[in-house]
Amino acid sequence: MTDATQNTQNTSLYERLGGAAAVDAAVTIFYRKVIADSRINSFFAGVDMEKQAAKQKAFLTMAFGGPHNYTGLDMRRGHARLVEMGLNDSHFDAVLENLGATLQELNVPAAMIAEVTSIAESTRNDVLGR
Amino acid sequence: MVSIRFNQQWFDVSDDETVLDALLREGVSVPYSCRSGACQTCMMRAETGKPPEDAQKGLKPTRKARNHFLACLCKPEMDMEVVLPTDLPPPVKATVKRLLPLSADIIEVTLTTEIPVDYRPGQFITVMSPDRLSRSYSLASVPEEDEGLVLHVRRLPGGRVSGWIHETLREGDTLECSGPLGDCFYVPGQPSQPLLLIGTGSGLAPLYGILRDALRHGHDAPIRLFHGSRDAEGLYLQNELRILAENDPRFDYTPCLSGSEAPPNHAQGRAHTVALTDIANLTGWRIFLCGHPEMVQQARFQAFLAGALLDDIHADPFSLDKLETE
């Protein structure tokens, strides 16, 4: 995710989506969906909501192709505790579903939703610690 | 070239370098994660100097007001002394000006300090007991209206600090305290945004300060206070609050009892449940939550799902019920 070519490509997606303002618009909707989703909200129980929302924002920024410095290792470290708690593909799928639904709600065209989803998808193995 | 001071040391920050890069370059260990201004892990606070606006992107208004900034975005324009958000200011000496029981187990403590403490109502200070135990107490006073720092201290079973304050401390005694800290306070502006204040037990202290601060600033939207306790003995300042509500159409007060049967003019149930049932849609509201940790956590969650933005929900993780566990 950090190589130069990919960043150049992603920046354009980020701009087409509307940049930081688009992330701001999406993060509240997305986070509400995530914590109301009984398939995954047990992973968020007892966690500081503000810190969690900030992380969701960092995640969306990355998925939107925006500026970030996350590496695969960061993703692994950040989710290791959740993997121990049983985080698996079904939970990852649920997050992607909420992401797609958020973008639909914001009337983002299907083609761009697909681009965002594929960036998010590319973190799957790191998030699940494989 | 400008410099920043952190941990008693000055560091040069090159042109176009961020505070985070400068500290990491010098081998200083500070928390960070995304390095692009999103995750807020690297948040710091400027004690002197002002961070550039760009470095405060996405922070809550209360944090901006206290010169918080993101180290990974901050290219300082002037020298700044910076600290981590949880770093306590150095202790100051205070004198106990007044002790006044407010209820069976809550006492109002008024302190005057040698050096004036610049605070906002709702923030907290940390009080040190003679055997060097420290506890945080929220500020119920408004600097423009009250003389000294006013705390509401609840006596907790087996609590060594609250026990000392209730039993041993006398007017005229001196003690050490430090602060203020905390982001649970009223920021002027948006006077037409309705305010919801929910507190349990001595969590009323910060809300009493915030409430009067908002009124003083000319807030003109409804301000609704729900104060909860298990039984009637746990409620206090009831007369003051009722009089305030009768005389000010902006303010409304609902005492809530969760244990015993509620007498007239009281609501039955836990404060946050009563509040969120009464106001089902919190879109656009600014919310302050103080009191029992479990209540704060549940209320924050429910208020967010009821439409409030997280940036508009203020709670003080330390101004909980000051549960002493020793």
Q: Which residues of A touch B33 (CB under 8 A)?
A: 58, 74, 78
Residue-wise pLDDT tens digits, A79-105 = 999 999 999 999 999 999 999 999 999
Quote the mean pLDDT of chain B: 92
Mean pLDDT of B118-145: 94
What percentage of chain B has pLDDT greater than the value 70? 97
Quickly state the pLDDT bin for B85 (edges 50, 70, 90).
confident
Residue B115's pLDDT is 87
Interface of chain B toward chain A, CB-CB under 8 angstroms = 33-41, 57-58, 297, 300-301, 304-305, 309-310, 317
Residue B326's pLDDT is 30
Residue B224's pLDDT is 98
- Contact A35/B39, CB-based, under 8 Å? no
Mean pLDDT of B139-143: 96
Mean pLDDT of B179-193: 92
- Contact B40/A49, CB-based, under 8 Å? no
Q: Which residues of B touch A19 (CB under 8 A)?
A: none
Which pair of tokens denotes residue B34? 């995304």
Find, among B52, B87, B88, B89, the residue nearest to B70 by Cα: B52
Mean pLDDT of B197-212: 96
Residue A11's pLDDT is 53
- Ranges of residues in chain A with a pLDDT under 70 are 1-11
Residue A6's pLDDT is 47
Residue-wise pLDDT tens digits, B264-296 = 899 999 999 999 999 999 999 999 999 988 899
Residues near B232 by beta carbon (within 8 Å), at least 6 away in sequence: B257, B260, B263, B266
Mean pLDDT of B39-44: 92
Which pair of tokens denotes residue B189? 């502006």
pLDDT at B131 over 50: yes
Quickly state the pLDDT bin for B212 (edges 50, 70, 90).
very high
Question: pTM for the whole thing?
Answer: 0.86
Residue B325's pLDDT is 37
Locus of tokens 């985070």: B20
DSSP string, A41-80: GGGGTTS-HHHHHHHHHHHHHHHTT------HHHHHHHHH
Mean pLDDT of B24-53: 92
The 3-state secondary structure of chain B, one letter per residue: CEEEEECCEEEEECCCCCHHHHHHHCCCCCCCCCCCCCCCCCEEEEEECCCCHHHHCCCCHHHHHCCEEECCCCCCCCCEEEECCCCCCCCEEEEEEEEEECCCCEEEEEEEECCCCCCCCCCEEEEECCCCCEEEEEECCCCCCCCCEEEEEECCCCCHHHHHHHHCCCCCCEEEEEEEECCCCCCCCCCCCCEEEEEEHHHHHHHHHHHHHHHHCCCCCCEEEEEEECCHHHCCCHHHHHHHHHHCCCEEEEEEECCCCCCCCCEECCHHHHHHHHCCCCCCCEEEEECCHHHHHHHHHHHHHCCCCHHHEEECCCCCCCCCCC
Mean pLDDT of B304-317: 89
Residue A5's pLDDT is 44
Locus of tokens 């799957």: A124
* CA angle (B72, B73, B78) in 5-degree steps: 110
Residue B252's pLDDT is 97
- Contact A35/B310, CB-based, under 8 Å? no
Lowest-confidence region among B182-191, B221-230, B281-290: B182-191
Residues near B227 by beta carbon (within 8 Å), at least 6 away in sequence: B199, B200, B204, B207, B235, B241, B253, B254, B255, B256, B271
Burial class (CB in 10 A: 0-12, 13-18, 19+), B214: buried
Residue A2's pLDDT is 44
Residue B90's pLDDT is 84
Residue B323's pLDDT is 44
Find, among B282, B290, B288, B278, the residue nearest to B309 by Cα: B282
What percentage of chain B has pLDDT greater than the value 90? 78
Q: Which residues of A touch B40 (CB under 8 A)?
A: 50-51, 54
Residue A15 bridge partners (DSSP)? none
Measure B148 CA to nearest chain A CA, in Å: 32
Helix/strand/coil for A112: helix
Residue A39's pLDDT is 96
Q: Which has the higher per-residue pLDDT, B322 or B91? A: B91
In chain B, the residue whose alpha carbon lies closest to the alpha carbon of A56 is B39
